[in-house]
A and B are shown apart, each in its own frame.
Chain A
Amino acid sequence: MLRLPKFRYLQPKSVEEAARMISDHGPDAMFVAGGTDLYPNMKRRQQTPKVVIGLAHLDKLRRVKGKPKEGMILGAGLTLTEVAEDRRVLRAYPVVAQAAELISTPLLRNMGTIGGNLLLDTRCNYYDQNYEWRKAIHFCMKKDGEICWVAPSSPRCWAVQSSDCAPVMVAIGAKVKLVSRDGAHVMERLIPAAELYNDDGIRHLNKRPEELLTEIHLPPTDGWRATYWKLRRRGSFDFPVLGVAACLRLAGDGTVEHAKIILGGVGSHPMEASGSEQALVGKKLTEETIQQAAAAAYPTAKPLDNTDFAMSWRKDMARYYVAGALRELAGLPSQASSSGGNGAGLRIVPG
């Protein structure tokens, strides 16, 4: 078995104590919630904290608060199973439950948290390997090395944003609360989910390491509808290699007033398909508009050869998946079933 390297484990009793512990230990420390991302990374020596601060026992991070009308608040420490099965979430924010339910396996969803999911490290087939493997390719820019093997002439890392919830939170306009401590002061900031992410495989989070994610503020349910389509090889276990989160608000006559189409898994951050959004706003959701919006998503998706599946096929699928998500929101029959086939690896939980 791969062994975990040695580290110190601290267990704070409160959010404040957690914030203090991390500021005391500086860059050597990291938070851990479910550990389903951090511990495997530590075994492979991709992440090497000397001190690990456990959040699993903080009740304050495991609450569901508020009313859909004003917007509900999810504690960052809720497990994915809790989020996927929470009745209030299922009723008011089915798209959030749907994304959480599509993550990994039941076992990992029982451990993994929604906060950890939003802060998931970016992924790459050259990086998610153990130390010896990475040594064999002389490492890469993201950890211990100089070059990016996916795009050797590029100055940056293209590791892939692989959280299923991230594109959904960006699409629906959720906000995240970050708490940190500066001496005696507790500092809090509430930022749009979109601002949490950076288009860079290494510095993929606009968050200081000592900031603790405590809450996710979901927007008021005032008429928008959203869905999430996930592409993966198998019906369980696999990270998304393309995710489409679509959020629309329609006027009484069916005209699209507002559209957010966010692609996950095809870049280092949740990518906004602005072209698709423009193709939709002010129009009715006909098959024709949907096709235009889907075609406009194609250039946004920039998959590289660092995940499962052939990259050109993944890029092709962006079009198909955007169309599928929009058809679902329009209540049109999906192409998949009209052609007698299943969608490419997709599973839809009716929203």
Chain B
Amino acid sequence: MAGTSGDGPSGAGPNGGGRNGGKAIGLRVVGKPWKKVDASAKVMGETKFADDIFLPRMLHCKILRSSAPHARIVKIDTSKAEAYRGVKAVLLGKDLPIPYGILPVSQDEHPLAIEKVRMVGDPVAAVAAVDEDAATEALDLIEVEYEPLKTISSIEEALETSEPRIHDYGEYGNVHRRTAYEFGDVKAGFAEADFVREDITFYEGSTHLPLEQHASVGQFSPDGKLTLWSSTQDPHYLHRSLAKVLGLPATHIRVIATPCGGGFGGKCDPFQHEIIVSKLAMVTGRPVKICLTREEVFYCHRGRHPVLMATKTGFKRDGSITAMHHRTFLDGGSYGGHGAASTFYTGVLQPTTYTMGTYKFDAVRVFTNKAPCGPKRGHGTPQPRFAQEVQMDKIAEQLGLDPAELRKRHLVPPHSLTCNWLKIGTTSLGKCIDKVVEGARWKERFRKLPHGKGIGLACSAYMTGAGTAIYWNNMPHSGVQLKLDRSGGVCVFCGSSDIGQGSDSILAYIVAEVLGIEPFDIRVVTADTDLTPVDLGSYSSRVTLMTGNAAIQAAERARDLLAQAAAEKLEVPANRLVFADRRVVDMENPEKGMSFVDAVWLAEAKFGTLGTTGSYTPPKAPGKFKGSGVGPSPTYSYCAAVAEVDVNPETGWVKVERIWMAHGGGQAINPVLVMGQVEGSIYMGLGEAMMEEMTYRGNRNVVHKFPSFLEYKSPTTLEMCDVVTYLIEDDERETNAPFGGKEAGQGPLLPVPPAIANAVYDAVGVRIDEVPISPDKVLKAIRAKAKGQEGRYGPTHFPSCPMPEPIRVATPWEGGTGEGVKREPALAKA
């Protein structure tokens, strides 16, 4: 495996760089493969997950879930359950009547169904009892009478069915959202093209499959204060939802995000069970715990939307893209959730990889009686990336160009604006392509391997943090507090939640770098709404960038205090002091110095108790049109991948042998953690490409086909391909990112499915225009080709839906201002 060099770019850190005008010295902590701060506890089984919490007199909660996919609740009788031994409380929808939802525009959820259920698995009643058995047994005693309603199980059915409506809000009928944009004169763009092609593709839904099932413990104190421990990615948003639904003042609620056994976007939304155990704790006055079953985790879902796409692209003989009209239909499932944002994301990032003259995009999200979709690693963007990157392969073939060359000719330049007003910072996509082309020996092997063997290339870009918060506000997105005391100890407080990606460790590395101490000298306290300043949460690949920048600010402020105090004592100017190796020294006269602890003593004596804060707010996006809040990011990461496959032409079986992935993530704060994210992304992308399917039986009450770890097929280690990872640094430091470090957790997933699809084509000459690429599809396409038909498997029909007038925005090169026809604040989240 190849990797980065351990040394960072010289003099780029805030210890030296422009930020605070100090002197340049090399990075000592950043860029090195330090152990994670929570690693020892994890590997020794000492980490306490939410389900490991046991409080005195704790009750156990179980939730009765709907067995009807779409129905009115006629009657619920809980009398027998209430009388059952050990049962302390039974809750129904009427006990929690206030709706909630992660986005202000989709407040369409209730902790327990009120009047109506919308999917098999919708919570209907909850029981708290002295143990899990009693709670489980009591569920059997609850009688629910349903009056069935017509079910809606597909995009087509949702478009055709105006009544009954799953929700009584949205665009009309069962259409939840419609989004239409046109950047530049697309008609003229197509007219300018030498060729125009349209491809219809489909990307199946999939779920996160975290090893840890969601679990929560609620506790209500005699003075009316609620504490909720929960395996959540976003304690801050959960805090807000709890306050809203429980009717408690937010000041009386404390949310503690416990160590998280996997999130991947599946623990971003506030969940029913989190509110339910809180309410049960309030009602009973005893702590209440729930740990969901695996099946319930499937019902929580919020995973990848199934998306049907039609991508029409006009291009010139040299491959330059003059126009793209990209249309998407999202099967949203039964609730809004993040769906309004997901809808944007199925289009908004298309122009970030290759220069695109004009761009039009229409997206429609529908409601169906299935588990709600939402943000899964890459939130809404792996689907359109698949459509675009498979099409690029076809364009290259049509033009007789090498797909790598074609892409390289039209890269979005650094420090530019895209046609849809996204500000691109640094980019290393060209370097990434070169690296995988070299590693995979692309030039010698592409279209030259024996029948059955193939290689394919694909690229991607991804945001490093959403530029806009989920609810409108003009406060920072991330806050860090630092406490220093006379022991020399430094404690970092931040609202961010470590979901395994290592965000706690990043805080320690960055503060250690700035203060010149060791990461393990530092204590990190995170994700506790009572103790830590707000951070918006672990989503949209925002954490390293935003908490990192906030941590740099807090640490630099602390360093300034120490420097002032030390400078006085040493009688040198403060800006000559360097913090390194747990010492503060005069860089011009290194014998002159003192220990870090001594500097803290002096500073505490001089200034009183030491504490500093730092915060981060993303830069203002250049786009000013309605909806321009989704897509902008402080900076974008870039990736290129080559997949090598082995296809058995007689069975259609595809084995992915190896993936070369170059990740242009700037300066890796910790290269081992970045590689972990890259490999994990490849693994997850491989699952989506090859086998994962969140599918339902439309004709059998829309039950999930297989809500189980065994039958929901996801790769095991045996299916994992070999991986060659290259961490590619930018030529110049991305100034918006801490030490130039960009995202790593999501972007590398994106090129995996299209690279595999393109490799299958190279191997056996058939196009599989949908994922998962299962062997039956490959075999069908091979057989069709043998019969002289089109060697392709994929959707052929694209439904129609009346679209509103698009929001029209002139491109920067048309002299646009970034304004659309209308202006309103917008919401965003990845």
Cβ contacts under 8 Å, A137 to chain B: 697, 700-701, 703
* CB–CB A235/B716 < 8 A: yes
| Contact among B133, B451, B453, B653 for A3, CB-based, below 8 A | B133
Cβ contacts under 8 Å, A237 to chain B: 710, 716
* CB–CB A341/B132 < 8 A: no
| Nearest-CB residue, chain B, relative to A307 | B711
Task: Enumerate the 10 nearest inter-chain pairs by beta-carbon distance, A residue then B residue, closest first.
Answer: A341-B648, A235-B718, A313-B776, A344-B651, A310-B776, A344-B653, A136-B67, A340-B452, A135-B67, A136-B120
B69 at the A interface (CB under 8 A) = yes
Given contacts A235-B719, A313-B776, A339-B452, contact A136 B648 (CB under 8 A): no
In the assembled complex, how far is the CB of residue B350 from the closest CB belonging to chain A, in whole angstroms? Answer: 32
* CB–CB B703/A234 < 8 A: no
Q: Mark A76-120, 1 if CB is under 8 A from B, else 0.
A: 000000000000000000000000000000000000000000000
A336 at the B interface (CB under 8 A) = yes
* CB–CB B774/A149 < 8 A: no
B680 at the A interface (CB under 8 A) = no
| Contact among A149, A238, A309, A310 for B700, CB-based, below 8 A | A149
| Nearest-CB residue, chain A, relative to B453 | A340
Cβ contacts under 8 Å, B213 to chain A: 1
- Expressed in whole angstroms, the Cα–Cα distance for A252 and B132 within the complex equals 66
In the assembled complex, how far is the CB of residue A177 from the closest CB belonging to chain B, in whole angstroms? Answer: 32
In the assembled complex, how far is the CB of residue B494 from the closest CB belonging to chain A, in whole angstroms? Answer: 33
* CB–CB B650/A339 < 8 A: yes
Cβ contacts under 8 Å, A310 to chain B: 774, 776
- Expressed in whole angstroms, the Cα–Cα distance for A308 and B650 within the complex equals 19
- Expressed in whole angstroms, the Cα–Cα distance for A236 and B717 within the complex equals 9
Given contacts A125-B706, A133-B295, A136-B701, contact A342 B711 (CB under 8 A): no
B189 at the A interface (CB under 8 A) = no
Cβ contacts under 8 Å, B710 to chain A: 237-238
A130 at the B interface (CB under 8 A) = yes
* CB–CB A339/B649 < 8 A: yes
Give 20 new A-B contacts, CB below 8 A, not counting A133-B707, A233-B713.
A1-B213, A3-B136, A125-B705, A133-B295, A133-B703, A136-B69, A136-B120, A233-B691, A234-B718, A237-B710, A309-B775, A309-B776, A310-B776, A316-B779, A336-B648, A341-B452, A341-B649, A342-B655, A344-B651, A344-B653
- Expressed in whole angstroms, the Cα–Cα distance for A132 and B140 within the complex equals 10
Cβ contacts under 8 Å, B706 to chain A: 125, 129
Cβ contacts under 8 Å, A339 to chain B: 451-452, 648-650
* CB–CB B133/A6 < 8 A: yes
Given contacts A1-B132, A2-B293, contact A342 B719 (CB under 8 A): no
Q: Mark B771-803, 1 if CB is under 8 A from A, else 0.
A: 000111001000000000000000000000000
B265 at the A interface (CB under 8 A) = no
Interface size bucket, A side? 35 or more
Given contacts A313-B779, A336-B648, contact A236 B718 (CB under 8 A): yes
Which parts of B747-789 form the interface with A (CB within 8 Å)?
Answer: 774-776, 779
A–B complex contacts, Cβ < 8 Å, 6 sampled = A1-B293, A130-B295, A233-B691, A236-B718, A316-B779, A343-B653
B288 at the A interface (CB under 8 A) = no
In the assembled complex, how far is the CB of residue B126 from the closest CB belonging to chain A, in whole angstroms? Answer: 14
* CB–CB B719/A340 < 8 A: no
| Contact among B68, B295, B647 for A341, CB-based, below 8 A | B647
In the assembled complex, how far is the CB of residue A242 from the closest CB belonging to chain B, in whole angstroms? Answer: 11
B254 at the A interface (CB under 8 A) = no
A128 at the B interface (CB under 8 A) = yes
Cβ contacts under 8 Å, A316 to chain B: 651, 779
In the assembled complex, how far is the CB of residue B776 from the closest CB belonging to chain A, in whole angstroms? Answer: 4
B652 at the A interface (CB under 8 A) = yes
Cβ contacts under 8 Å, A342 to chain B: 646, 648, 653, 655
Total A-B Cβ pairs within 8 A: 108
- Expressed in whole angstroms, the Cα–Cα distance for A125 and B713 within the complex equals 13
Q: Mark A292-333, 1 if CB is under 8 A from B, else 0.
A: 000000000000000011101100110010000000000000
A345 at the B interface (CB under 8 A) = yes
The CB with the most chain A CB atoms within 10 A, among B69, B646, B651, B779, is that of B651
- Expressed in whole angstroms, the Cα–Cα distance for A101 and B261 within the complex equals 31
Cβ contacts under 8 Å, B555 to chain A: none
* CB–CB A341/B646 < 8 A: yes
Cβ contacts under 8 Å, A312 to chain B: 776
A278 at the B interface (CB under 8 A) = no
Given contacts A2-B293, A237-B710, A336-B648, contact A341 B655 (CB under 8 A): yes
Given contacts A234-B716, A313-B652, A339-B452, contact A1 B774 (CB under 8 A): no
In the assembled complex, how far is the CB of residue A229 from the closest CB belonging to chain B, in whole angstroms? Answer: 12
Given contacts A137-B701, A340-B453, contact A335 B650 (CB under 8 A): yes
B56 at the A interface (CB under 8 A) = no
- Expressed in whole angstroms, the Cα–Cα distance for A121 and B482 within the complex equals 60
In the assembled complex, how far is the CB of residue B503 from the closest CB belonging to chain A, in whole angstroms? Answer: 29
Cβ contacts under 8 Å, B67 to chain A: 132, 135-136
| Contact among A236, A308, A341 for B653, CB-based, below 8 A | A341
In the assembled complex, how far is the CB of residue B457 from the closest CB belonging to chain A, in whole angstroms? Answer: 21
* CB–CB B650/A320 < 8 A: yes
In the assembled complex, how far is the CB of residue A46 from the closest CB belonging to chain B, in whole angstroms? Answer: 13
- Expressed in whole angstroms, the Cα–Cα distance for A309 and B452 within the complex equals 22
| Nearest-CB residue, chain A, relative to B778 | A313
B815 at the A interface (CB under 8 A) = no
| Nearest-CB residue, chain A, relative to B69 | A136
Cβ contacts under 8 Å, B222 to chain A: none
Which parts of B106-149 form the interface with A (CB within 8 Å)?
Answer: 120, 132-133, 136
- Expressed in whole angstroms, the Cα–Cα distance for A258 and B224 within the complex equals 81
In the assembled complex, how far is the CB of residue B651 from the closest CB belonging to chain A, in whole angstroms? Answer: 4
* CB–CB A128/B655 < 8 A: no
The CB with the most chain A CB atoms within 10 A, among B69, B704, B711, is that of B711
In the assembled complex, how far is the CB of residue B76 from the closest CB belonging to chain A, in whole angstroms? Answer: 16
B543 at the A interface (CB under 8 A) = no
B715 at the A interface (CB under 8 A) = yes
| Nearest-CB residue, chain A, relative to B648 | A341
Given contacts A125-B705, A133-B295, contact A320 B651 (CB under 8 A): yes
Which parts of B436-470 form the interface with A (CB within 8 Å)?
Answer: 450-453
- Expressed in whole angstroms, the Cα–Cα distance for A326 and B706 within the complex equals 34
- Expressed in whole angstroms, the Cα–Cα distance for A129 and B121 within the complex equals 13
Which parts of A219-267 form the interface with B (CB within 8 Å)?
Answer: 233-238
Cβ contacts under 8 Å, B646 to chain A: 340-342
B65 at the A interface (CB under 8 A) = yes
Cβ contacts under 8 Å, B707 to chain A: 129, 133
Cβ contacts under 8 Å, A2 to chain B: 293, 295
B744 at the A interface (CB under 8 A) = no
Cβ contacts under 8 Å, A309 to chain B: 774-776
Given contacts A237-B710, A336-B648, A339-B650, contact A313 B136 (CB under 8 A): no
- Expressed in whole angstroms, the Cα–Cα distance for A126 and B699 within the complex equals 13
In the assembled complex, how far is the CB of residue A145 from the closest CB belonging to chain B, in whole angstroms? Answer: 12
| Contact among A129, A235, A317 for B651, CB-based, below 8 A | A317
| Nearest-CB residue, chain B, relative to A335 | B650
Cβ contacts under 8 Å, B705 to chain A: 125
Cβ contacts under 8 Å, B691 to chain A: 233
In the assembled complex, how far is the CB of residue A57 from the closest CB belonging to chain B, in whole angstroms? Answer: 26
B291 at the A interface (CB under 8 A) = yes
Given contacts A335-B650, A342-B646, contact A234 B293 (CB under 8 A): no
Cβ contacts under 8 Å, B65 to chain A: 132
Given contacts A128-B711, A339-B648, contact A313 B775 (CB under 8 A): yes
| Nearest-CB residue, chain A, relative to B709 | A237
- Expressed in whole angstroms, the Cα–Cα distance for A88 and B258 within the complex equals 51
- Expressed in whole angstroms, the Cα–Cα distance for A2 and B648 within the complex equals 40
- Expressed in whole angstroms, the Cα–Cα distance for A42 and B120 within the complex equals 22
Cβ contacts under 8 Å, B452 to chain A: 339-341
In the assembled complex, how far is the CB of residue A316 from the closest CB belonging to chain B, in whole angstroms? Answer: 7
Cβ contacts under 8 Å, A6 to chain B: 133
Given contacts A136-B67, A137-B703, A344-B648, contact A308 B711 (CB under 8 A): yes
| Nearest-CB residue, chain A, relative to B703 | A136
- Expressed in whole angstroms, the Cα–Cα distance for A342 and B763 within the complex equals 14
